Structure 1
Amino acid sequence: MELRALEALVQVLRCGGFTAAADRMETTQPTVSKLVAQLERELGQPLLRRDTRPPVATDAGRLVLTHAEPMLLAAANIRAGLSDLSLAQGGELRIGIPPLGPQLFVPLMHAFKLRHPGIELKLFEDGSKAIEAAMLAGELELGGLLAPLDERRFEHIMLIDDRLALLAPARSRWSRRPVVRLAELAEESLILFLAPYMLNERIEEACRQCGFVPDIAGRSGQIGFIQELVRSGVGVALLPRSELRHLGAEDFSISALVEPQIPWRIDVAWLRGAYLSHAARAWLEVVRAERGVRAG
């Protein structure tokens, strides 16, 4: 049983399809399909239902998945440990950065490089789902994830605990509203992040609980572009308050969102039981020092 075939199965289920799994594994979609089919032939049972979108695991597939993830983690631990033996105070750290993470991570990166100039930071910039999948596959040691997290899989340190706010054009009906109820946005066009991002799910679920399906004006993976779309009047956006502090009142209106409040908390996380390189341990020391968190 090849680890590469197990990884293909895990990535198809975690990424939601063969094409996304191929992108994650830096290979082709036919290769991923071949690896999964090879595993199914070897085990003598179908592991995926291919008549659904996205593919879902069969009972046999779920059983294999529960064993495959620890096996992939163990292999990643072996590779990381062997690499760590030869790196001394140099080396690299692979860390996942969410799309709303720069203001959180840049100060930490600055503090880290002052203490450890010989360690190269390799950044994986994507949403929480993609970062989580990359961590489970052993491609990342650390990542910024949207809380709450699965405590059975992850250990974590909170970076920020925030709430979403309404960002609208300065000359809009919201300009004199310090507080806005979510239900009042039923007739507005919203600008969201790209479809796989977990924050979208929270916004859309909150809208449904308020009795409406949001009208989506557009999507982007870049907060700066979303802000420009809002400024030009394409739509409004729901973004963390901490990401809006630098925006000028001449271009934007910012209102607190209530009924309900939508939380936005980012934690730096790592897999329980994973081997952490000296670079990853050094990063966590910096995080604890900067955030005033005690180890343990």
Structure 2
Amino acid sequence: MELRALRYFVEVVRQQSFTVAAEQMHVTQPTISKMVKALEDEIGSPLLLRDGRQMVLTDAGRIVYQRGQDVLAAQAQLQAELNDLGTLGRGELTVGIPPLGGSLFTPAIAAFKARYPRIELKLFEQGARKIEEALVAGELELGGVLEPVDPAVFDVLPMVRAPLWLVAPHGSRWDADATVPLADLANEPFVFYAESLALHDAVLDACRKVGFTPQIVSRSGHWDFMAALVHAGVGIALLPEPYCRRLDAAQFTCRPIVEPEITWAIAIGWLKKGYLSHAARAWLDVARETGPVDPGDDLAFGSLRAR
């Protein structure tokens, strides 16, 4: 069984699209299709069935997908260990950075580059959910994850912990309130998190637990754009408190969400049973020195302000 064919098949299942998988793997769609077909021929059974726009795994496909991820992760770990035989003074390291919490990593990035200038630091900029998948698949050694994560799978280094606040246009009905119960937002239009972000599911679950499903009118993975949409009157949003404090109080009403409080907790995660290269361990050492991050620290979050 060719590893390349297995890798293409796993990516097709992840992306639920031959086209998107081809883009991610930097090959043509016919190449992906041909390799998956060859894999099916070798196994002697179909692996994927189309159900409208969705791709459904057959019984054989489910086994190949699950075991294939293990094989690819083991291959990636083997390659990492072989590459790590050299010295720490050179090489490369890829770190997963979630878009919403990217500024949290700025102090660590700056300190790491100053200490190890010959190590090329690559950033994998995806939502925490995608970062978790990449860690499990062995495509990343380290990355920003949203806690809680499965402690049997991941070890973590906490970076920041902060509550989510309501963000509404100034002059809204919450101006005089000290806090806002989540259920009070049941009939409001929401500027929501992109589905690729772990906060999407966290907020959605919290809303459903208090009896409503949010009326989503727009989605984004960037807090400043979400705030701009709120200011334009598109809807309300729930943003981490550190970002809310950077919004202009003359333009926005920001209040803590209660009943329940929703927590945004970002950590650096890595596989509990995975291999960490010298560069990855050096990154963790630097991150421990520069963090955890104080949510009120302007050096970490910058003086950003939605306009």
Q: Which amino acid aligns with 2:244?
A: L
1:1-296 residue pairs with structure 2 within 5 A? Answer: 1-51=1-51, 53-86=53-86, 88-291=88-291
Deviation at 1:92, TM superposition (A): 1.8
* Cα 1:17/1:214, change in 2 over 3 Å: same
Q: Which amino acid aligns with 1:7?
A: R
Q: Which moved more, 1:80-89 or 1:246-255?
A: 80-89
In 2, Cα distance between the equivalents of 1:54 and 1:94? 31
Structure 1 counterpart SS, 2:138: coil
Q: Retained in 1: the 8 A contact 2:96–2:131? A: yes
Q: Retained in 2: the 8 A contact 1:73–1:274? A: no
Output one character per residue of 1:210-264: Cα deviation in whole Å (capped at 9) or x when no partner: 3322222212222211111112222111111122222221122111111222222
- Off by >4 Å, runs of 4+ in structure 1: none
Q: Retained in 2: the 8 A contact 1:178–1:254? A: no
Deviation at 1:79, TM superposition (A): 2.2
| Identity in percent | 49
Deviation at 1:63, TM superposition (A): 2.1
Q: Which amino acid aligns with 1:188?
A: E
Q: Which amino acid aligns with 1:238?
A: L
Q: Retained in 2: the 8 A contact 1:100–1:243? A: no
Output one character per residue of 1:47-69: Cα deviation in whole Å (capped at 9) or x when no partner: 23322654243332232233222
Q: Which segments of 5 or more consecutive residues in structure 1 lack a partner in the other structure?
A: none
Structure 2 counterpart SS, 1:145: strand
Q: Retained in 2: the 8 A contact 1:103–1:243? A: no
* Cα 1:58/1:261, change in 2 over 3 Å: farther
Q: Retained in 2: the 8 A contact 1:96–1:144? A: yes
In 2, Cα distance between the equivalents of 1:7 and 1:155? 26
Output one character per residue of 1:79-108: Cα deviation in whole Å (capped at 9) or x when no partner: 223333345412221011111112311122
Q: Retained in 2: the 8 A contact 1:94–1:124? A: yes
* Cα 1:28/1:191, change in 2 over 3 Å: farther
Q: Which moved more, 1:100-109 or 1:266-275?
A: 266-275
Q: Which amino acid aligns with 1:140?
A: L
* Cα 1:175/1:54, change in 2 over 3 Å: farther
Count of residues paired in the alignment: 292
Q: TM-score, normalised to structure 2's length?
A: 0.86
In 2, Cα distance between the equivalents of 1:25 and 1:138? 15
Structure 2 counterpart SS, 1:151: coil
Deviation at 1:31, TM superposition (A): 3.0
In 2, Cα distance between the equivalents of 1:239 and 1:63? 40
Q: Retained in 2: the 8 A contact 1:153–1:272? A: yes
Q: Which moved more, 1:69-78 or 1:28-37?
A: 28-37
In 1, Cα distance between the equivalents of 2:37 and 2:99? 35
* Cα 1:133/1:109, change in 2 over 3 Å: same
In 2, Cα distance between the equivalents of 1:272 and 1:35? 33
Structure 1 counterpart SS, 2:51: coil
Structure 2 counterpart SS, 1:191: strand
Q: Which amino acid aligns with 2:31?
A: T
Q: Retained in 2: the 8 A contact 1:161–1:264? A: yes
In 2, Cα distance between the equivalents of 1:12 and 1:251? 44
Q: Which amino acid aligns with 2:258?
A: V
Q: Retained in 2: the 8 A contact 1:14–1:133? A: no
**Coordinate RMSD, CA, aligned:** 2.2
* Cα 1:250/1:239, change in 2 over 3 Å: same
Structure 2 counterpart SS, 1:7: helix
Deviation at 1:77, TM superposition (A): 1.9
